[in-house]
Structure 1
Amino acid sequence: MTRPPPLHLFNGFRNPFGGSELETLSVFEMLSRQQIPVQLWATSSKASPALLARYPIRHVSVLRRQVPDGGNYVFFGAHWRNRVWPFLVARPRRLIYVFNTFHPKILALTSQHRALLRWPRTEYVLISEFQKKILQIEGVVHPSPIDIARFHPAPRLPGEGGAGRGAGSSRLVVGRLSRDTADKHHPDDPTLYRHLLDEGWQLRLQGATILQNTLPAHPRCLITPEGTVPPDQFLQGLDVFYYRSGTHVETFGRVVVEAMACGLPVVCHAHGGYADHIIHGENGFLFDTTEQAHAILQRLHADPALRAAIGDCARHTTEHLFSAEALQSRLKFFRD
């Protein structure tokens, strides 16, 4: 039997909660379980100490002779920036770029190599049809892998679609999860959150301390920094997941699909890669305006059967999207 070429996965590994970091590590774990030779490489000198301690990540260093040795090179949300080290390592058999942004500068850097480098043509993996349509480039589409055994529905309370997912409260919990940066939050959302609190919701916002000055202190509003609670546990404590970003446009929106895997009805802005997998009114809800979002949330607040039905369909969507067969097919692309 022909031994598969070694795989080298590159990422900055700067943020333990970043989408590209999580995607890289998910692919690494799946390949490792299949005993495929695979190595993680940090392209940034500021890689997270937490990730370095948990995973066998190596820094690229020509001086220490710590460099990839040929095979298939796969870059996740990182790129080589035409630095010196690519000239001093073994030429890759294949060059794959998991492109998770819209940035045209990075697209140009990854598609054009210096002639002396002699690296192969870049093969692109995009993470949504939404992204592919906007960029208008050739490439396969692989949704960012999610562990649906970890992200699963919490037990429901008897006769209800959640009620805090066992949180010990009769009030419904709506929440969201993201990085704690301004571009991840829409400027109209604090007004919506105040309306929801007035209507009796509990509000949980993780990765939203940047909003603390725009929301008054309230006993039913819990705002915490990113990473306070593991994402699966955080999502399992919600009844409804709400999501809209600010200037940042999600090429995929991993957290939305994680919420769907947890059996939550998701209420999301219609402009994002996650919308590829949401059928409005069937396995989630999409909105264009704040008024539409508010109306959807009011409807879900009043109808426990609807919350349960939408959440069940959301879970089924992720079971199909991340079935063993689907994941195996996507991994095969990197190994060949």
Structure 2
Amino acid sequence: MTNSPLFTPFALGSLHLPNRIVMAPMTRFRAAEDGTPLPVVADYYAQRASAGLLITEGIWPSRAGQAGWRMPGLETVEHIRGWRAVTEAVHAAGGRIYAQLMHGGRHGHPLSRLTGDIPAGPSAVPLPDPVHVRDGGKADPPLPREMTADEIRQAVQDHVAAAGNAIEAGFDGVELHGANSYLIHQFLGDNTNLRDDAYGRGSVADRIRFPLEVVSAVAGAIGAGRTALRLSPGNPQEGMVENDPGPVYRPLVTEVNRLGLAYLHLIDDDRYPALAELLPLWDGPVIANIGENREPTSKEGGEAVLSDGVADLVSYGRSFIANPDLPERFATGAPLARVDWPHLYTHGARGYSDYPRHAPAPTRVEV
């Protein structure tokens, strides 16, 4: 139906992707209070199964990493059962889906955590702005605890356990969230990692130690071909500061490249040309995200990325919210629907799984 490079098939390991359009991870708060995905989550992802690859919203690997109320987890039998319903629905619809593991680190509030405790990150550095809490209001961010060495080691094992749970739940692979201000990113940040031990500021090798330990451990547990990593060098979200990302991310990507992961999901930012500077260090598949902190990526923007050889796949976030059939709309030139913003972060089907597919106007027949 189209000659667009977005619709060229791609082999991602053992997965055959019919197109190069990836649905980016997006937090939507449709879990039960214990972190089990609600039944409507299966509808939501199955509706979007025509994407070449789906990546779930961030899923906490353990309660210690829960960043917000009604965010989903992958820790318990109930979580596995809930996510299995999702993966079965996606696969039945012909799709492919990776679980994104997202440890909140310093994110979170006692009112929004099942443990009811203060969150912990690399250092005792709070978020800059008020945070959402369980009752729907906002509260001042707590001063996080600095993780102990034992807690760091436990966080690595929590990622391993959650990755195994993801495979048991039927996911095709796992993406580790090393971007957008969450735990792995916090170890890389200038202002969020003030440690003076082997995981801190003594050298770049120390700064990247925890990210490498997590990626290596998960790849060793479930296979490198089912393990991926998302990075966002220079991303200032949630008060992150990275004044000179290159000296940190170049050795990180060089070391991760040796593992032979399924893909690298790289966010380009105006503050640091990540795609241009880091891709020469990477031998495997690349998913490019060029819409973070910018206008949503257009069809033409994604085509340019692929035509220029910048990446193998392109991830789309906001455009998928109101357009479950986004690939079909791109292929036919159909208009994009608008997002129901007031219901973006509510907990039911409205503004989530109630967006219709595009219905073309009936062909007029002359009589």
TM surpasses 0.5: no
> Of the two, which has the highest radius of gyration?
1
* TM-score of the superposed pair, with normalisation by structure 1: 0.30
TM-score in terms of structure 2 length:
0.28
